[in-house]
Structure 1
Amino acid sequence: MASNGNGCVKDANLIRIGSRESELALKQTYMVRDALQKVHPQLKFEIITMKTKGDKILSVALSKIGSKSLFTKELELALEEGQVDMVVHSLKDLPTTLPEGLVVGCVSEREDPRDAVIMHPSHPTATLATLPKASVIGTSSVRRAAQLKRKYPDLRFESVRGNLNTRLRKLDTADDYAALILAAAGVLRMGWSDRISQYLDDDDCMHAVGQGALGVECREDDTSILDLLAGIAHHTTTLATIAERAFMRTLEGGCSAPVAVHTKVTGDILDLKGGVWSLDGSEEQVDSSSVTLKESDTSQENEEHQAKKAKSIITHCGVVALRGWERRMEQAHTLGSSLANTLLGRGAESILRAAKAQNDAHLPPNNPNLPPSTNLMNSAAQSVSSS
């Protein structure tokens, strides 16, 4: 038996995993649980579900809510209070700066990070390029809308909220949308690959930071949980997503501004492409860069890494560096930050500022008749999710 940090005693062999309660969130949590169970068959795992603010407020576009930690805050509070030992998130929902004392203990192997087109039953063989002019495309993401407006100016893009089941039902049972744009990873994990009409490659629409990967958050001082999670971490996905998160953090982008990336790891080469767009897609800044990832060959630098590690856990944008890969993680972080600074030097800052100002202008004012959580979200600074 052991204390959970709240003075309560818990079974040392019982690991409690926090999750959102949607079907997709649970499928993703089961994936993490099963991976941990395979490595640690002697342990027991319990899943504890809860709703987040993002799950409760579905009538407002994500970009108009303006909240930090839209899909993570309640789960993080449970983690801080010792009610759960770890929390499974879609990594794209996790802000690049985490609450003090919390870290991403591991990042899972990435599912296909691209976006996918799901057509209305009346357009079974269509693509975005062949849809009738003025067709309405549903998407919850300003990132997708901005990029696709440039590519398909004759289409209309409107917000659609709800979990995947809800959005597909809205598509299939009415004529409001000709198609939906969704993260391919979620559709594939739900077992709906047959509904995908088209995958969008980076020339059409670069994906969200962290899209397709799962991040498992835990307490920074919980060494036993960190050791468990290290056993299921996926190294190349971690490298790619650290670069992406560093890109995002340096830009300070989020739900309110269109920021997107495309990464590829080939051997020791990490390629990162990143971009920023105006809300209407009329302005863009896009560039790419790469780095050769290698651990230091000098004993002096290795000793410095070990000394640094001995003092505290090394993290990059909240993600714990993997043992033996610390130098590679630093290089990935530098790649993302440097690419973002390149774009900022070319005018990306003014594009981001204008996009955020446009969204802020549409935020509903605090209203004493609204639930407190709604007003709290309206007054928060920004979201880093790009659903």
Structure 2
Amino acid sequence: MLSMISSLQPSKVIAQNAMCAESLKDPARKNTIKIGSRKSQHIVCNSVLLLLLLLLLLFLFLQLALIQTKHVIEKLKELNAEKTYEIVKMSTLGDQILDKPLPKIGEKSLFTKELEIALEHQDVDFVVHSLKDLPTALPDGMCIGAILKREDPRDALVLHAQYKGKSLKTLPKGSIIGTSSLRRTAQLKRSYPHLKVENIRGNLNTRLNKLDKGDSYAAIILAAAGMTRMGWDNRVSE
């Protein structure tokens, strides 16, 4: 599920069913809203979007992030087709450190901190994240401005070609399943104790390449929504 995080100036904007970002104090920027995005569907926060002619969308330059960013832009254009959008490239610590499991990195807001800093400095006016990447408590002065319609919330099994036609139940004992999620790891170990679970990091493309070109993983677990957005539903086995 995708969410939009905005800075707060309560007197400027009335939101519908959500708290919204407000226009910036700097008069020179009154016709510009800058947006930042990581990873998201029905826009409910529209008042702020009607204020400006140029919206600058900040996002992490990954293929999936680009697809999701364009999806957000499409939804915004449904509200006002006259507005224009510029996509700005950015990455976060979570995208840069790929040799450690996420829980062992020891940092908070791995996929949001850099974007939050850009928002705090008013380099952007709001950012787009996957809701799962957000911290439990947002930084002071920031709020969830809108949430898009939810995509498929399920996990997906993607198999190495060698195991085509198999399922988690029928994979051979000791088969290695790749995931970086503690939740998925716990579920796999509980439900399929005959399998081994090992860490795998990287964006969607990187993980699929590790699966397809290597011989370590029998399968990997990915978000079904991401596979759908990339147009790779045919790779999903379960």
Q: How does 1:140-219 map to 2 (within 5 A)?
A: 140-198=180-238
In the alignment, what sits opposite 2:80? 40
Looking at structure 1, the residues matched to 199 and 213 of structure 2 have their Cα atoms a distance apart, in angstroms, of 17
- Determine if the alignment matches structure 1 residue 52 to structure 2 residue 92: yes
CA shift at 1:18, angstroms?
1.7
Q: Deviations over 1:177-234 (max 9, x none)?
A: 0000011111111110000000xxxxxxxxxxxxxxxxxxxxxxxxxxxxxxxxxxxx
Match of 1:87, SS? strand
TM-score under structure 1 normalisation?
A: 0.49
Looking at structure 1, the residues matched to 75 and 94 of structure 2 have their Cα atoms a distance apart, in angstroms, of 27
8 Å Cα contact 1:48-1:84 kept in structure 2? no
* Residue 9 (structure 1) aligned to one of 29, 41, 46: 29
Q: How does 1:251-290 map to 2 (within 5 A)?
A: none
Q: Deviations over 1:302-352 (max 9, x none)?
A: xxxxxxxxxxxxxxxxxxxxxxxxxxxxxxxxxxxxxxxxxxxxxxxxxxx
* Residue 86 (structure 1) aligned to one of 92, 115, 126: 126
Q: How does 1:205-354 map to 2 (within 5 A)?
A: none
CA shift at 1:58, angstroms?
0.5
CA shift at 1:4, angstroms?
4.4
CA shift at 1:82, angstroms?
1.2
Calculate percent identity across the aligned residue pairs: 55
Looking at structure 2, the residues matched to 26 and 5 of structure 1 have their Cα atoms a distance apart, in angstroms, of 29
- Determine if the alignment matches structure 1 residue 116 to structure 2 residue 156: yes
Looking at structure 1, the residues matched to 90 and 27 of structure 2 have their Cα atoms a distance apart, in angstroms, of 23
Match of 1:122, SS? helix
CA shift at 1:9, angstroms?
3.3
Q: Deviations over 1:8-53 (max 9, x none)?
A: 5364411112211111111111111110011111211222220000
CA shift at 1:173, angstroms?
0.4
Looking at structure 1, the residues matched to 163 and 183 of structure 2 have their Cα atoms a distance apart, in angstroms, of 24
CA shift at 1:119, angstroms?
0.2
Q: How does 1:97-108 map to 2 (within 5 A)?
A: 97-108=137-148
* Runs (4+) off by over 2 Å: 3-12
Looking at structure 2, the residues matched to 46 and 28 of structure 1 have their Cα atoms a distance apart, in angstroms, of 14
In the alignment, what sits opposite 1:24? 64
Bigger shift: residues 109-118 or 11-20: 11-20
Give the AA of the match of 2:89: T
Looking at structure 2, the residues matched to 148 and 27 of structure 1 have their Cα atoms a distance apart, in angstroms, of 29
Q: Which has the higher helix share?
A: 1
CA shift at 1:7, angstroms?
7.1
8 Å Cα contact 1:6-1:82 kept in structure 2? no
8 Å Cα contact 1:139-1:181 kept in structure 2? yes
TM-score under structure 2 normalisation?
A: 0.79
Q: 1:66 to 1:6 in 2, by over 3 A?
A: farther
8 Å Cα contact 1:72-1:89 kept in structure 2? yes
In the alignment, what sits opposite 1:75? 115
Looking at structure 2, the residues matched to 51 and 8 of structure 1 have their Cα atoms a distance apart, in angstroms, of 28
CA shift at 1:66, angstroms?
2.3
Match of 1:68, SS? coil
Give the AA of the match of 1:108: L
Q: 1:8 to 1:50 in 2, by over 3 A?
A: farther
Looking at structure 2, the residues matched to 6 and 147 of structure 1 have their Cα atoms a distance apart, in angstroms, of 50
Looking at structure 2, the residues matched to 187 and 49 of structure 1 have their Cα atoms a distance apart, in angstroms, of 22
Give the AA of the match of 1:138: G
Q: 1:74 to 1:7 in 2, by over 3 A?
A: farther
Q: 1:127 to 1:180 in 2, by over 3 A?
A: same
Match of 1:96, SS? coil
8 Å Cα contact 1:6-1:81 kept in structure 2? no
Give the AA of the match of 2:185: A
In the alignment, what sits opposite 2:9? none
